[in-house]
A and B are shown apart, each in its own frame.
Chain A
Amino acid sequence: MSKKRILIVDDEASITRLLRLNLEQTGRYEVREENLGAKVHDAAAEFRPDLILLDVMMPDMDGGDVAASLKEDPALRKIPVVFLTAAVKKEELGAPDGKIGGRTYIAKPLNVQGVISVIERTIGK
């Protein structure tokens, strides 16, 4: 079974690094980090991830705009995007799949088990 490819986008480099290390530790994921919203499109085109973990609030670009630009690209529009957000609380996500308005969210603070279970629910083991 090949490793799932995950692109992690957050302006905080230490967070993307630790998320990467944690996911790689499981031996099931190949992970790439990106810290600038503007570079996500290129990174996705190059890395071809199975799933993108995308921070909603970044200083250079809004996560929603980044996702929209991916949707516009026929080559990338199929890649599922999971948003990382500090703006909503776990309890407010309500539905267990964390979907609000068709988007999947993971509330910060993140814990590794929670992130993995959302990834598994979205793209399988």
Chain B
Amino acid sequence: MRDHLIKLLLVEDEPLSSEVVQEMLQQSPSARFQVTPLRRLDETLALLESEQFDVILLDLSLPDRQGVAAFAAVHARAPSVPIIVLTGSADEPLAFQAVREGAQDYLMKGEFDGKMISRVVRYAIERKRAEQALRQSEEFFRLITENVTDLIAVLDQDGNRLYNSPSYQKSLGDSGSIEGTNSFKEIHPEDKEKIRGIFQETLRTGRGQRAEYRMLLTDGSVRHIESQGSAVRDETGRPVKVIVVSRDITDRKQQMEVLENTLADLNRAHEDLKAAQSRLIESEKLEAISTFAGGIAHEVKNPLQTITLGIDFLSTCVGETDPNVTMVLNDMSSAAKRADGVIRGLVEFSAYNKRDVKDHDLSDVVEQALRSVESELAGRSIRLQKELASGLPAVPLDLKTMKHVLLNLLMSAIESMSRGGVLSVKTYSSCLLENQGWSDRTPGQLKAGDTIVAAEVEDNGSGVIESKLADSSQRSFPTEMIRKGVLDVMVLKKVVELYGGMIQTTNRKEGGVRVTIMFKVAR
């Protein structure tokens, strides 16, 4: 320390006093001083313009300025230089005031010695240096906290706010007004306990945690917040405060939500596209197959004709002689009729190769099909029970084909009620509760949650759906459906599948058959 030269400006108008001070400083064993003595304020201010000092010793009664005003003038000119005020014993209150306004210390004339002045001067320099360092670091801290958008808070052990960064202004109001309030107050009631638990654990363990929660602001709005806490320990290492750095992630959350929704939409669109594509392939396949099947059917017709005419002939030949022969001929005859039904179906639908798929209201299609069978109903004392929903969502269909399918279903129901009955026809829209599939071959064609429109044709006639699986009366039979005496349910099934729909058939417990056609409604 002794080696370090301290540049000291001594401003004192009394020559004797000035010399005494200079003498003391030169004698100092602990520091070396280079003293510049001055007598007046004006020359002091002038010199400070051009020269740097480590410390100033300033008498408060100068010829050209007295009292605290003298200190203020010098301090204003050299704010970073520590000033020690020299004063007479009568003026101690004045010295105090100067200290309050920024002087480092004061010395009473006649009451100090060389040792003391040297110590006071050196302490003043050190204190000023520390003060400046502190001010710089405070400024630095202030700049950071005022400019971050993150929310920084210091909380006591009960969660009361000791400090809040100005960034809180936007959500909770200015830092001054929320200081001392409890930080749990604005946390959403549903998240409060969770966050309180995390806060207490941070205090208990000293380990901070990341947490996400919602804040309920006084204007009723909800913000999503992400916070990272860290414990502040006292001298004994015990966590006593918690610093919480938070960020408002509401926008991010909303963007994520939008993104997720978009992704879900995209996935759905992708699935729809896949379904449409497979329907297209299915449709092309069916067209090729139906052309082929139509050709084959024509070829099968003639041999089948030979068989039916042969059966007719044999029936008249053998007459009533042998009941077994009659039974066999009857079986052959009905088998030939069934085969003929399937073949006719194939031929009919292969004629609809040119399809015109448009959006249609299923109720309209049913209505049109019903008009075609009106005369049949009247002739057979069948009562029509009609419940057609209005405003059904449109589904893409080929009107001609679907009318034909419905006509077949209606005719088969009518045929089964030769002695009269009730024909019930319904359309409706609903949401499927479980996946529907024809069989293992086309699983999950319609999925749970799909919106469908359906047409239901129900009779109380004598028909039954025959099936290998027909072991109970109230049950849908997905495959092997050939209705007694009716041509082509198999063909109808294929045709309906072509449009992404499906047919379900049920043998009603009370007799008769219910056939339901379902189509998926595009979103």
Contacts and interface: CB of A to CB of B under 8 A. Distances in A.
A109 B305 CA distance: 6
B349 to A, nearest CB: 13
Interface stretch (B191-199, B307-315, B449-457): B307-315
B308 A22 contact: no
Range, interface on chain A: 10 to 19
A117 interface: no
B226 to A, nearest CB: 73
A5 B313 CA distance: 19
A22 B313 contact: yes
Contact of A25 (B306, B316, B344): B316
B182 to A, nearest CB: 86
Contacts of A19: 309
Interface stretch (A10-18, A31-39, A45-53, A74-82): A10-18
B298 interface: yes
A14 B344 contact: no
Given A12-B302, A22-B312, A109 B317 contact: no
Contacts of A112: 309, 312-313
Contacts of B344: 89
A110 interface: yes
Contacts of B316: 22, 25
Interface of A: 12, 14-15, 18-19, 21-22, 25, 86, 89, 108-112
**Residue from the set B303, B305, B316, B340 with the largest chain A CB neighbour count within 10 Å:** B305
19 contacts: A14-B306, A14-B310, A15-B309, A18-B310, A19-B309, A21-B313, A22-B313, A22-B316, A25-B313, A25-B316, A86-B298, A89-B344, A108-B301, A109-B301, A109-B304, A110-B308, A111-B309, A112-B309, A112-B313
Contacts of A110: 305, 308-309
Interface of chain B, main secondary structure: helix
A8 to B, nearest CB: 11
Given A18-B306, A89-B348, 10 more contacts: A12-B305, A12-B306, A15-B309, A18-B309, A21-B313, A22-B313, A25-B313, A25-B316, A25-B317, A112-B313
Contacts of B304: 109
A30 B291 CA distance: 40
B368 to A, nearest CB: 17
Contact of B308 (A25, A89, A111): A111
Contacts of B313: 18, 21-22, 25, 112
Contacts of B308: 109-111
With most chain A CB atoms within 10 A of its CB, the pick from B298, B306, B316, B348 is B306
Closest 6 CB pairs of A and B: A18-B309, A14-B306, A112-B312, A12-B302, A21-B313, A22-B313
A108 B305 contact: yes
A22 B309 contact: yes
A112 B311 CA distance: 10
Nearest to B302: A12
A111 B315 CA distance: 13
Nearest to A55: B302
A35 B302 CA distance: 14
B302 A15 contact: yes
A86 B301 contact: yes
A115 B401 CA distance: 31
A14 B317 CA distance: 17
